[in-house]
Amino acid sequence: MTHVPDDPTSLPNELARERSREAADRTLLAWIRTSLALISFGFGIERVGQAALGLDGRLVGFLPLKTRVAGAVLVSLGIVATLAGMWEHRHVLRAIARQDYRYAERPAIARGMALALVAVGGAALVTILLGF
């Protein structure tokens, strides 16, 4: 008995492709939500620093550059996360569109973003503890 390969245009295969496309879209939306949170938090930190400037120097040891840098780093990280999510989405959609689609291992963008956030958090912790 010979094995007949699956027809790539069969209904189950097309439904699987549709589910994969929808999963890729949900993943992109998750990246967008994460990016929006990072950008908003970074902007908020920077605004708090600017508001503290209006206290006429009543905050001893306060450096507005700290909040500006922290805010800019988080906003930048949010922008990078958006671009990475868009790149991954495009890559997945191209793979799904091929007739010979097979799952292929690829670098985990989330792991890279998590490491970047650990670095930002570590730098913030050092800054707080050392009073820079």
pLDDT (tens, 9 = 90+) of the chain, 132 residues, equals: 444 455 656 888 888 888 988 999 999 999 999 999 999 999 998 888 878 777 765 666 667 778 888 899 999 999 999 999 999 999 999 988 887 777 777 778 888 888 988 998 888 888 777 766
Residue in the block written with tokens 């994460």: 34
Q: Is residue 64 part of a domain?
A: yes
Query: Is residue 5 one of the residues assigned to a domain?
Result: no
**Is 57 domain-assigned?**
yes
Q: Which of 33, 19, 27 is nearest to 91 (CA)?
A: 27
The answer to whether position 39 is within a domain reads yes
Name the E strands within 22-120. Answer: none
Q: And the tokens for 90?
A: 């495009």
Helices assigned H by DSSP within 54-108: 64-97
Q: How far is CA 107 from CA 5, 60, 65, 121, in A?
A: 30, 45, 35, 23
6, part of any domain: no
**Tally of domains within the chain:** 1
To the question of pTM greater than 0.85 for the whole model, the response is: no
